[in-house]
Amino acid sequence: MSHSAADQIVDMRRLGMRFGTERTRKLLDLLNSPDKKLKIVHVAGTNGKGSVCAYLTAILLAAGKSVGTYTTPEVFSFEEQFAVNGVPLKNCEDYLASVQLIADGMEDKPTAYERQTAAAFLMFAEEGCEYAVIECCMGGLLDTTNAAEDKALAVITSISLEHTEYLGGTLESIARQKAGIIKGCPAVISQCVPEEVRGIFYELGARLADAPSDMCEGEDGTYFTCAGTRYFTKLAGCRQPYNAATAIAAAKVLGIGGDAIAQGVKNAQIFGRLQTIAAGGKRYILDGAHNPESFIPLEELLKGRYSGMRCTLIYGCLSDKDITSALSRLAGCAGQVIAVQPKSYRAMGFDKIISECRRAFGHAEGAADVRAALDMAKGDIVAVCGTFTILKEARDWIEKEQ
């Protein structure tokens, strides 16, 4: 039975990543340089990339622009990585197959991620998009997405320690990797970028986004003020006003009007980041947070709005994550903790996950998979977190409960 091009690319991920932009640039040139037909907004950072991409996409759509959005990794479906005007591209298989044919003929074979990145540019150009909002996978300077040469704007969302074996062990080294996406284009950095490394970006002409203020968070979203204007976002979490403020500053650089910006911030939606679903008398939170800083919004939600409620934490993660620091954020947030091993070749070993959960919480149960863990969950609030790779299984189970 033959695999689709998408299946082939997913299978190739086992071969790992190779850093550098040369193969992707060569592949793009063989595809007639589709990236050069687009106004590219390139987004890098440790956390907040997906949210800023969501805000920028919604803002551009509210301004009447056609926009392609490339974000990784997928949460619920492979196609959602490639959205045109906010909708996953159903015919992405045709473009992936075209890229596979050319990539397989190259002497230096592109990786899975390089192939799907080239396919994203091809899709967006062929589908008639004016803008392409592109999320970096890892770092920036040597990330395959940085093969794009002509950019309308670069955006940096945050800087914290991550992937130190690849990006370096200091905030400065990581910031310099992220700053590598600023290539002859304007740039905006978030207030979430630490002050001690902002100079690296200022030297390249970056401007600092305004800080949000007067934040008022409720069940349906958050009101906040930015540069004298009041905004509302449906996206949950204490960091969302900062992500929105970054997108607002970026949109202003692109010349987008205030009405479209406000409407776009209000319209933005994203899955798998503090996504809440009510079912069977429980409230389920799906959160793909996977590094220590990214757990801050979940920590604040569980210790704030849901404090005093019975909470179950279902946790799994991949082998390259700082599980000790991540779980220390969540210590004290849950009365019941269930460890699971993700169904991924990159998964951390189950024994390691459960032992770290017991170290952080003093107790933890184990489950064979996410479905079994959800069957075991006793809390009124059930948070499934640690990696995007376990969220689809959780959502499918929850939907059957609704």
Per-residue tens of pLDDT for the chain, all 402 residues? 458 998 899 889 888 888 899 999 999 999 999 999 999 999 999 989 999 999 999 999 999 999 999 999 889 999 999 999 999 999 999 999 999 999 999 999 999 999 999 999 999 999 999 999 999 988 899 999 999 989 999 999 998 866 555 565 688 989 999 999 999 999 999 999 999 999 999 999 999 999 999 999 888 899 999 999 999 999 999 899 999 999 999 999 999 999 999 999 999 999 999 999 999 999 999 999 888 888 999 999 999 999 889 999 999 999 988 899 999 999 989 999 999 999 998 899 999 999 999 999 999 999 999 999 999 999 999 999 999 999 999 999 999 886
Secondary structure, 3-state, the chain: CCCCHHHHHHHHHHHCCCCCCHHHHHHHHHCCCHHHHCEEEEEECCCCHHHHHHHHHHHHHHCCCCEEEECCCCCCCHHHHEEECCEECCCHHHHHHHHHHHHHCCCCCCCHHHHHHHHHHHHHHHCCCCEEEEECCCCCCCCHHHHCCCCCEEEECCCCCCCHHHHCCCHHHHHHHHHCCCCCCCEEECCCCCHHHHHHHHCCCCEECCCCEEEEECCCCEEEEECCEEEEECCCCCCHHHHHHHHHHHHHHCCCCHHHHHHHHHHCCCCCCCEEEEECCEEEEEECCCCHHHHHHHHHHHHCCCCCCCEEEEECCECCCCHHHHHHHHCCCCCEEEECCCCCCCECCHHHHHHHHHHHHCCCEECCCHHHHHHHCCCCEEEEECCHHHHHHHHHHHHHHC
Say how far residue 57 (Cα) sits from the centre of its chain: 14
Non-local CB neighbours of 309 within 8 Å, separated by 6+ positions: 379, 380, 381
Amino acid letter at 32? N
CATH code 3.90.190.20 region(s) in the chain: 275-401
Distance CA 266, CA 55 (A): 9
CATH code 3.40.1190.10 region(s) in the chain: 5-267
Which two structure tokens, joined as six digits, stand for 155?
């955006």
Helices 240-253 and 49-62, axial angle in degrees (round to 10): 50
Give pLDDT, residue 162. 63
Give pLDDT, residue 112. 95
CATH architecture of the domain formed by 5-267 = 3-Layer(aba) Sandwich (3.40)
Give pLDDT, residue 165. 58
Q: CB–CB of 57/67 below 8 Å?
A: yes
Query: In this structure, which CATH number among 3.90.190.20, 3.50.50.60, 3.40.50.720, 3.90.180.10 belongs to the domain 275-401?
Result: 3.90.190.20
C-alpha distances out from residue 292 to 139, 213, 242, 259, 323, Å: 17, 24, 18, 36, 8
pTM to 2 decimal places: 0.93
Give pLDDT, residue 108. 95
Amino acid letter at 12? M
Distance CA 390, CA 356 (A): 18
Q: Tokens 């196609």 appear where?
A: 79
On the question of a cis peptide bond just before residue 73, with omega within 30 degrees of 0, the verdict is yes
Short-list 12, 338, 46, 61, CA closest to 163: 46
